[in-house]
Amino acid sequence: MTDRKATLSVGDKSIELPVYSGTVGPDVIDVRGLVQEGVFTYDPGFVSTAACESAITYIDGAKGVLLHRGYPIDQLAEQSDYLEVCYLLLNGELPTPEENKRFHDTIKNHTMLHDQMRNFFHGFRRDAHPMAIMCGVVGALSAFYHDQMDTSDPRQREITAHRLIAKMPTIAAWCYKYSIGQPFMYPRNDLDYAENFLHMMFGVPCEDYKPSPTLAKAMDKIFLLHADHEQNASTSTVRLAGSTGANPYACIASGIAALWGPAHGGANEAVLDMLAEIGDEKNIEKFIAKAKDKDDPFRLMGFGHRVYKNFDPRAKVMRETAHEVLAELGLEDDPLLKIAQRLEKIALEDDYFVERKLYPNVDFYSGIILKAIGIPTSMFTVIFALSRTIGWFSHWNEMVSGNYRIGRPRQLYTGEEKRDYPTKK
């Protein structure tokens, strides 16, 4: 932090505010002292607000850069795997080979759920949205581990991280199995993380199931690319919930709830629904016009981002993976992929999108990959939540292991001034 100052003139007053610089990225103006001056800052949607200090992930939206603990996302996608990135996000450094092996083995030994948790699934209707089930079941984890909820104990926080990383694939797969009326599949310790998830999703007790290495690799890459993304809406929700001292399971459940919205994690499901609604390349122009029409609520799902005003680096990796998976499955002529490719080309040449710097984001291609793997659209956001759990937990952990205060924003009040209750005649 430096001793630089910004000067703010409010009426006839001149207020000096500290300015801090991070390692990289925009400086921040510390406005905490403004409340003593009787004024608030105003930033609905937090477009220009740094809500915290963090060392986990850095995004340069103008350049399309995403770093996890300093490592570029494209290098991690190419050379690492999801569990190694989980270790990196949580601990700040890549693991040694021994640490990596120990971490993988630890996760494998936490993948089962307490058997009574099965009852939670059976309380839902079979046609419940899997995100509703996941939200309920993850929040309920706090009822099974109350002996390990001292958030001031680093070891208890570490065990909770292991439990969440390990159990989310089991919970996610069981949400799917429950919705199609098939028996739950138990995790297997002879499979790696992504293979195990696909086994629990598509395996049945009647026969062996060995997922294709290409699909397992694509699944792991999807997990990796969605692992963390700085202070997005769901991560900020987790931090705010955590700032009250709520237990980590409840905080992660709040992140799942926030992710569900179509403007955020629900976008990948909405992309597939949009491509299906477009139906044919000849309809693309009509939908582009709808997206540009201020009076039409329709937006091009999978396009635009609050921070990226360039290509989302994850979308670039995702686009390559989509081609690999579809080629492996002999689906290069998949009609939805054709519509997506044409839509991307047209949108990137259209002034409306170019002026507003609306590029494809992480959700634009992920849905195509997930659909090719055989995952139903209703499970897309569940998989996003599974992947992002490590990001949510790492930010929660960074906050609770340091000095923090309860988050309590203020407002610009535009309601009625004081008025008396009308006396009864």
Tokens of 169: 């694939």
In whole angstroms, the minimum distance from the beta carbon of 291 to ligand SDX comes to 4
Q: How far apart are the first and last CA of the chain?
A: 63
Q: Is 291 a binder of ligand SDX (CB under 6 A)?
A: yes
Q: Which residue is nearest to ligand SDX (CB)?
A: 304
Cβ count within 10 A of residue 92: 13
Tokens of 293: 């029409």
Place of tokens 């997990």: 223
Which residue among 64, 304, 313, 367 contacts ligand SDX (CB under 6 A)?
304
Nearest to 343 by CA among 268, 289, 284: 284
In whole angstroms, the minimum distance from the beta carbon of 176 to ligand SDX comes to 22
| Cβ proximity to ligand SDX, 73 vs 191, nearer residue | 73
Q: Is 358 a binder of ligand SDX (CB under 6 A)?
A: yes
Q: Is 306 a binder of ligand SDX (CB under 6 A)?
A: yes
In whole angstroms, the minimum distance from the beta carbon of 230 to ligand SDX comes to 6
| Cβ proximity to ligand SDX, 172 vs 274, nearer residue | 274
Which residue among 24, 112, 263, 289 contacts ligand SDX (CB under 6 A)?
263
Tokens of 166: 């390990």
CA-CA distance, 377 to 367, in Å (whole number)?
7
Here's the x/- map for ligand SDX, 10-49, by CB under 6 A: it reads as -----------------------------------x----
Nearest to 288 by CA among 280, 298, 279: 298
Q: Which stretch binds ligand SDX (CB under 6 A): 20-28, 327-335, 359-367, 412-420?
A: 359-367
Q: Is 264 a binder of ligand SDX (CB under 6 A)?
A: yes
| Cβ proximity to ligand SDX, 185 vs 390, nearer residue | 390
In whole angstroms, the minimum distance from the beta carbon of 75 to ligand SDX comes to 18
Pairing of strands 13-20, 28-29: antiparallel
Q: Which residues are catalytic?
A: 305, 363
CA-CA distance, 170 to 188, in Å (whole number)?
10
Q: Is 269 a binder of ligand SDX (CB under 6 A)?
A: no
Q: Which stretch binds ligand SDX (CB under 6 A): 108-116, 166-174, 242-250, 361-369?
A: 361-369
| Cβ proximity to ligand SDX, 120 vs 384, nearer residue | 384
In whole angstroms, the minimum distance from the beta carbon of 360 to ligand SDX comes to 9
Q: Is 356 a binder of ligand SDX (CB under 6 A)?
A: yes
CA-CA distance, 394 to 58, in Å (whole number)?
14
CA-CA distance, 48 to 306, in Å (whole number)?
11
| Cβ proximity to ligand SDX, 160 vs 232, nearer residue | 232
Number of residues that bind ligand SDX (CB under 6 A): 22
CA-CA distance, 342 to 72, in Å (whole number)?
29
3-state secondary structure of 356: coil
Cβ count within 10 A of residue 164: 22
Half-sphere exposure of 140 (CA within 13 A, CB side): 19
Helices 380-400 & 248-259, crossing angle to 10 degrees? 140
Which residue among 57, 111, 361, 397 contacts ligand SDX (CB under 6 A)?
361
Q: Is 76 a binder of ligand SDX (CB under 6 A)?
A: no
Pairing of strands 4-10, 13-20: antiparallel
| Cβ proximity to ligand SDX, 113 vs 138, nearer residue | 138
The sheet with strand 13-20 has its strands ordered as: 4-10, 13-20, 28-29
> Residue 4: in which H helix or E strand, if any?
strand 4-10
Here's the x/- map for ligand SDX, 225-244, by CB under 6 A: it reads as ----x--x------------
In whole angstroms, the minimum distance from the beta carbon of 201 to ligand SDX comes to 22
Interacting residues toward ligand SDX by CB under 6 A: 45, 229, 232, 263-265, 267, 291, 299-307, 356, 358, 361-363
